[in-house]
C-alpha cells in the first residue's frame, strides 16, 4: 500500500480535532504547492499556479468518531458520537482515546452481555447512551490521570490490502479522497503553462455540517469547485441495484444529485463538462444519484452568489464503520478525471 495513503488512513482527526491529519496534509501538499496555510477554521489550503481562473479542489479530512463525555466512579467512560454512526456497529469494538499528550489509550466498547438481558431488552437495539468504554482501570480517579473529558475517540486504526485492487482502512471516508487530491496536485504541478490558480483544500468538520467547506470556499471565492468524497457502494448483500448501482472497481462516480435534491444539484453545464471529459479521455466512470447523504458541495455551491461546483465520488463499502473497503482503480480513475477537468476549466 502507498505509504502516504496508509498514513492518511491510520491518522486521527475527528471533526474539530484535525490537528494531526492537517499536519500530514500540510507536508504532502507542501511538496507540490507554492504556498500551504492553515486558516482560522482549521482547513489546510495549498495553492499552485498563477493563472486567471481560480479553481478549488475540496476533500474533507475529518472522520467520524466519539468524544469522552463522562467517567463514572468505577472508571467506565461514557461518550457522545460525532458524525453519522449507527449504534449497532459499536458494541465490542476497539477504540483509541487520544489524550492531551497525543498518547493513544486503548479501550473496548462494552455492553451488557445477552445472558443478562431481559427478553424485552434482547429485542431492542442497544443505544450508545447505554454503552461505555473500558480501559482497564478501576476508578474515576485513575482514568482521569491519563484522559480528560473532551478527548477525542477514534476507531482502532487499520489499513491494508484485502485482495488485488481491493483495500480496506479506517476513515476511508474521506482520507482516500485526501490522497486523491494530493495525487491530483502532483500531476497539476507538472503541467506547463496552466492558466489557473488551483487551490487544494483539505476541509475541516464536514461530517458535522459541511462547515469547513463553507468558510474555505468563501475565502477562495473560486470560479469552479471540484469536490472529491466517498459515496455508498451498492455491491454487497442486502442492497438492491435500484437503491445503489455503484460497484467497486467500475470507476469514479460522477455525482449529480445529493440527498434527493436537498444537497447539491450539480448544474447541467457542469454535468455535461464532466461527462464529456470522462468520455473524451476514456476514463471509466459511473453515475451517482443519491437519496440521502451529501458532501461539501452542498454548502459550496450555495455560498456567496452561487459557486459552479462538480462532484467526483469514490464508491466505498461499509462507510461510517470502523473500517471500509474500496478499490484502488477507482481512486486512479478519479485522479485522471479530476486532472482532465481542471485542465479543461483552466482553458
Ligand atoms: Zn465524506
Encode pLDDT of 4-60 as tens digits: 999 999 999 999 999 999 999 999 999 999 899 999 999 999 999 999 899 999 999
Residue at a domain's end among 155, 186, 213 = 155
- Preceding amide of 100 cis, omega within 30: no
Q: What is the mean pLDDT of residues 270-275?
A: 98
pLDDT at 192 over 90: no
Give the cell for residue 120: 424485552
Confidence label for 113 from pLDDT (cuts 50, 70 and 90) = confident
Number of structural domains found in the chain:
2
Q: Which CATH number fits the domain that encloses residue 277?
A: 3.40.630.10
pLDDT tens for each residue of 274-292: 999 999 999 999 999 999 8
**In this structure, are 168 and 210 located in the same domain?**
yes
Centroid of ligand 1 to alpha carbon of 293 (angstroms): 9
Question: Could you tell me the residue range of the domain that residue 126 belongs to?
Answer: 74-155
Same domain, 192 and 263: yes
The angle at the Cα of 187, spanning 299 to 327, to the nearest 5 degrees, equals 70
Given 155, 183, 211, the domain boundary residue is 155
- Are 124 and 222 contained in the same domain? no
Tell me: do 84 and 108 sit in the same domain.
Answer: yes
CATH number at 112 reads 2.40.30.40
Last residue of a domain, one of 155, 176, 199: 155
Residue 124 sits in the same domain as residue 172: no
CA 102, distance to chain mean position in Å, is 22
Considering the candidates 6, 37, 141, 206, report the single residue annotated as catalytic: 206
Half-sphere exposure of 259 (CA within 13 A, CB side): 10
Q: Is residue 164 part of a domain?
A: yes
Backbone angles phi, psi at 203, to 5 degrees: -85, 150
Does the annotation count 19 as an active-site position? no
Same domain, 48 and 191: yes
Cβ–Cβ < 8 Å for 109, 92: yes
228-244 average pLDDT score: 94
- Closest C-alpha to 109, from 89, 95, 125: 95
Q: How far is the CA of 317 from the centre of ligand 1 (A)?
A: 13
C-alpha 232 – ligand 1 centre gap (Å): 10
* Same domain flag for 27 and 85: no
> What count of Cα atoms within 13 Å lies in the side-chain half-sphere of residue 7?
12
What pLDDT digit, counting tens, does each position of 171-185 carry? 999 999 999 999 999
CB–CB of 248/325 below 8 Å? yes
Asked whether residue 69 is assigned to any structural domain, the reply reads no
- For residue 3, the CA-to-ligand 1 centroid distance in Å is 21
Averaged pLDDT, 188-211: 95
Q: Please check the confidence at residue 149 and state whether its pLDDT lies above 90.
A: yes
Cα–Cα distance, 216 to 228 (Å, whole number): 15
Amino acid at each position: 500500500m502507498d505509504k502516504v495513503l496508509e498514513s492518511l488512513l491510520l491518522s486521527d482527526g475527528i471533526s474539530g480535532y484535525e490537528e494531526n491529519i492537517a499536519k500530514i496534509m500540510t507536508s504532502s501538499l507542501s511538496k507540490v504547492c507554492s504556498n500551504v496555510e492553515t486558516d482560522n477554521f482549521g482547513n489546510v489550503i495549498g495553492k499552485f499556479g498563477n493563472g486567471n481562473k481560480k479553481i478549488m479542489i475540496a476533500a474533507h479530512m475529518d472522520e467520524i468518531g466519539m468524544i469522552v463525555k463522562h467517567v463514572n466512579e468505577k472508571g467506565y467512560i461514557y461518550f457522545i458520537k460525532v458524525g453519522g454512526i449507527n449504534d449497532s456497529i459499536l458494541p465490542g469494538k476497539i477504540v483509541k482515546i487520544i489524550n492531551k499528550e497525543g498518547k493513544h489509550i486503548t479501550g473496548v466498547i462494552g455492553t451488557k452481555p445477552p445472558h443478562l438481558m431481559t427478553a424485552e431488552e434482547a429485542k431492542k437495539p442497544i443505544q450508545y447512551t447505554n454503552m461505555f468504554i473500558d480501559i482497564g482501570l478501576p476508578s474515576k480517579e485513575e482514568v482521569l490521570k491519563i484522559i480528560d473529558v473532551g478527548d477525542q475517540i477514534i476507531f482502532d486504526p487499520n489499513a491494508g490490502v484485502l485482495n488485488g485492487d481491493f483495500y480496506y482502512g479506517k476513515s476511508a471516508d474521506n482520507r482516500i479522497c485526501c490522497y486523491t487530491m494530493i495525487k491530483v496536485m502532483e500531476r497539476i504541478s507538472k503541467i506547463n503553462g496552466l492558466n489557473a490558480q488551483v487551490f487544494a483544500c483539505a476541509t475541516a468538520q464536514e461530517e458535522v455540517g459541511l462547515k469547513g467547506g463553507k468558510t474555505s470556499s468563501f475565502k477562495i471565492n473560486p470560479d469552479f469547485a471540484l469536490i472529491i468524497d466517498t459515496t455508498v457502494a451498492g455491491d454487497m448483500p442486502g442492497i438492491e441495484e435500484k437503491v445503489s448501482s455503484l460497484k467497486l472497481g467500475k470507476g469514479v462516480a460522477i455525482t449529480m444529485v445529493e440527498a434527493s435534491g436537498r444537497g447539491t444539484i450539480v448544474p447541467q453545464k457542469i454535468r455535461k463538462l464532466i461527462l464529456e471529459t470522462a468520455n473524451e479521455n476514456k476514463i471509466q466512470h459511473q453515475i451517482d444519484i443519491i437519496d440521502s447523504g451529501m458532501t461539501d458541495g452542498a454548502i459550496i455551491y450555495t455560498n456567496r452568489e452561487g459557486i459552479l461546483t462538480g462532484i467526483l465520488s469514490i464508491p466505498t463499502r461499509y462507510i461510517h464503520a470502523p473500517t471500509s473497503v474500496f478499490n484502488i482503480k477507482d481512486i486512479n480513475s478519479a485522479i485522471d478525471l479530476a486532472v482532465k477537468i481542471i485542465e479543461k476549466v483552466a482553458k
